[in-house]
Structure 1
Amino acid sequence: MTDAAPTPEPEPAAQSWKVTLPCTRAEAEALDGDIAAFALMDRPPVLMTSEAAPDDEESWRLEAYFEGQPSSAAIKLLRSLVPSAAGVRPQVEQLPDEDWVTLSQQGLEPVTAGRFHVRNLASDPERPGHVNFLIEASRAFGTGQHETTAGCLIMLDRMRRVGMRFGNVADIGTGTGLLAFAALHLWPRTYATASDIDPVAVEISAANAAANGIATGKGQGQIALYTAAGVDHPAIITRAPYDLLIANILAGPLIELAPSLCALVEEGGTIVLAGLLKEQADAVLAAYRAQGMRLAERTDRGDWPTLRLRKRPRIGWKRPTRLDGNARGEAPGFGSL
């Protein structure tokens, strides 16, 4: 008998780096939101601005957190965002093995989107008259700060205000679970399914559900959480068809997943898409129109559109009833935004 092959060592996690540059208050305010050029990167940095001196209102600093050592091109792009620092050498430093996403997100301002108010710190007060969620800074993205997340919250809120009703909802690429939580609040008797390619995100979604009093499970008014690439999970497929499916990821996986996502939506059902840039909207829409979807509504927040699509009814032999068993519904390498 031959000896078993040794178990390969896991690849080390990417080291965290920070780049710091001085900037003016006006430049810092102009960076409020997400930078389109960085969004095209596989691992975009998290940008934070703060006052550099308490007695100088015009003196600010820009800190960019990178997963992995930043390239010269990334640093050059960062410098272009703060022209006042043209003659300043950026401070580039490797960080200790700490949770850099959490560190970079600490102290974020609460976000109000439609009826929802999202706090990132337990010490932040709730906002009266709103649905308050606590999504603390964590290793998963989706705290409500990103324009795409806020855009989805506003879209869901508007759909409820005009009387739309849903009973079976899926959130693909859920991140922190926030959008699934919002859908459960709006339609409390729905069956909710949420998935992410990253098992850490699924763990964090479960913790966030507990922190916000949201039940996990497979019944009405509960959220069922799964780790899956795209919709490649038997439970996600079995729980279909969905009358509402949300996917806030990136344009590439949105296009790649179009056939499998659309196959899981019932006739007349709704898909809400986000995570794409304005210049990517036509390509994404073309992929979904080819699957029998039509654009029902579009809203833009800066460079980030949110799309609401409706599935056209089909008749005869073309009518889909279940996801093709040969279609795995994967988008390897892609996770939540």
Structure 2
Amino acid sequence: MNDVAARPAQSWKVTLPCTRAEAEALDGDIALFVAMDQPPVLMTSEAGADDDAWRLDAYFEGEPDPAAVQLLRDLIPSAAATEPQIEKLPDEDWVTLSQQGLEPVTAGRFHVRNRAADPEEAGHVNFLIEAGRAFGTGQHETTAGCLIMLDRMRRIGMRFGNVADIGTGTGLLAFAALHLWPRAYATASDIDPVAVAISRENAMTNGMPVGHGIGQVALYTAAGVDHPAIEQRAPYDLLIANILAGPLIELAPSLCALIEDGGTLLLAGLLREQADEVLAAYRAQGMRLAERADRGDWPTLRLRKRPRIGWKRPQRIDRSARGEAPGFGTL
């Protein structure tokens, strides 16, 4: 049974107005809530015709105490003078209620539904990723940008045999990569064990085999790449990291160390104004920018690792190469 759908019906919702920038900053894990036994589920949505008028709805199990409400207010500086709306929800499936209005997303060849009731899209690869439980449903520009970039990489003939998705969230990007390169090994990890459990459920829902062999996705709970199995399954010829700019910069050495010479790194989760700083961190690790695609304020960066001879001696990349790294099977 879906563990979230089985939660007690006595749930509460706290609502605050916010700006679009504040709403986008709330994607992913919120450090202020990590110490809570049952952190709230945060949902953001547009609140009106004004592009900068957004709303935060926080769903709690049980009545939130003043400290929890204050934590929410701390996340939304623009609402400092606004009294939050606090309401007890009726005996209904509040997760379903919170998802009402979410539309399916089409990104490249992929069509991502957040509700089983929505029809599949003919001529597309369809995934069902329920919203509200982990980041990475396809709704956010960063996830959609990664899907489009993966699709483009396959269309131009790039081939991979060993793929990793670090900070996988719902597992969606790992599933998409495995569909594009079905003879690859796939590794997906997240720091949140709940996200890993959700990824496992999503794999079953979408017919993606879980395991450690070719054409299967192996799931791990890990902070970054700090897990023996993730290191043992390296080197990767394609590594995806759709997280935030700060962690991307911090993880640059460890991520790049696991990429095969000539391999590809896909980065997302950063804002446009953060791109230069993120790129600088990865250039210092021997990466070069091969392609950039912006969706609104959110760029997706495709980088390649410069082959090296001897100790940190860069070598020019063969521009005719198709993206595969040696040692792994291709399609």
- TM above 0.5, yes or no, is yes
2:281 and 2:13 mapped to 1: Cα distance? 37
Alignment check: 8 A CA contact 2:42 2:132 kept: no
Alignment check: 8 A CA contact 1:16 1:65 kept: no
The within-5 A match list for 1:237-256 is 237-256=231-250
1:42 and 1:297 mapped to 2: Cα distance? 32
Q: Give the counterpart of 1:48 among 29, 45, 48.
A: 45
Work out the percentage of aligned pairs sharing the same amino acid: 71
What is the TM-score normalised by the length of structure 1? 0.75
**Alignment partner of 1:176 is 2:176:** no
**Alignment partner of 1:296 is 2:290:** yes
2:92 and 2:31 mapped to 1: Cα distance? 21
1:280 and 1:100 mapped to 2: Cα distance? 36
Q: Give the counterpart of 2:116 among 108, 112, 122.
A: 122
Residue of structure 2 equivalent to 1:77: 78
What is the TM-score normalised by the length of structure 2? 0.76
Structure 2 SS opposite 1:317: coil
Question: Post-superposition, which runs of at least 4 consecutive aligned residues in structure 1 deviate over 4 A?
Answer: 33-45, 70-76, 94-103
1:202 maps to amino acid: V
1:93 maps to amino acid: I
1:248 and 1:99 mapped to 2: Cα distance? 30
User: Which stretches in structure 2 are left out of the alignment for 5+ residues?
Assistant: 1-10, 33-40, 60-67, 315-331
**Alignment partner of 1:93 is 2:89:** no
Residue of structure 1 equivalent to 2:130: 136
* Residue 318 of structure 1: how far off its partner (Å): 3.5
**Alignment partner of 1:204 is 2:198:** yes
Alignment check: 8 A CA contact 1:119 1:133 kept: yes
Q: Give the counterpart of 1:19 among 6, 15, 23.
A: 15
1:76 and 1:94 mapped to 2: Cα distance? 22
Which deviations, in whole Å up to 9, do the C-alpha atoms of 1:58-115 show, x marking residues without a partner? 9xx9641247425556555259xxxxxx9xx655216679997765334411000000
1:253 and 1:206 mapped to 2: Cα distance? 24
> Aligned pairs, how many?
283
Residue of structure 2 equivalent to 1:227: 221
1:250 and 1:73 mapped to 2: Cα distance? 19
1:98 and 1:294 mapped to 2: Cα distance? 51
* Residue 138 of structure 1: how far off its partner (Å): 4.2
Alignment check: 8 A CA contact 2:271 2:298 kept: yes
Q: Give the counterpart of 1:155 among 134, 149, 152.
A: 149
Alignment check: 8 A CA contact 1:36 1:277 kept: no
1:264 and 1:236 mapped to 2: Cα distance? 9
2:54 and 2:93 mapped to 1: Cα distance? 19
Q: Give the counterpart of 2:56 among 64, 81, 85.
A: 64
Structure 2 SS opposite 1:294: strand
Structure 1 SS opposite 2:174: helix
Residue of structure 2 equivalent to 1:270: 264
1:74 and 1:228 mapped to 2: Cα distance? 26
Structure 1 SS opposite 2:254: helix
User: Which stretches in structure 1 are left out of the alignment for 5+ residues?
Assistant: 1-14, 24-29, 52-56, 80-85, 321-337
**Cα separation, partners in 2 of 1:138 and 1:312, compared to 1, 3 Å:** same
1:169 and 1:265 mapped to 2: Cα distance? 10
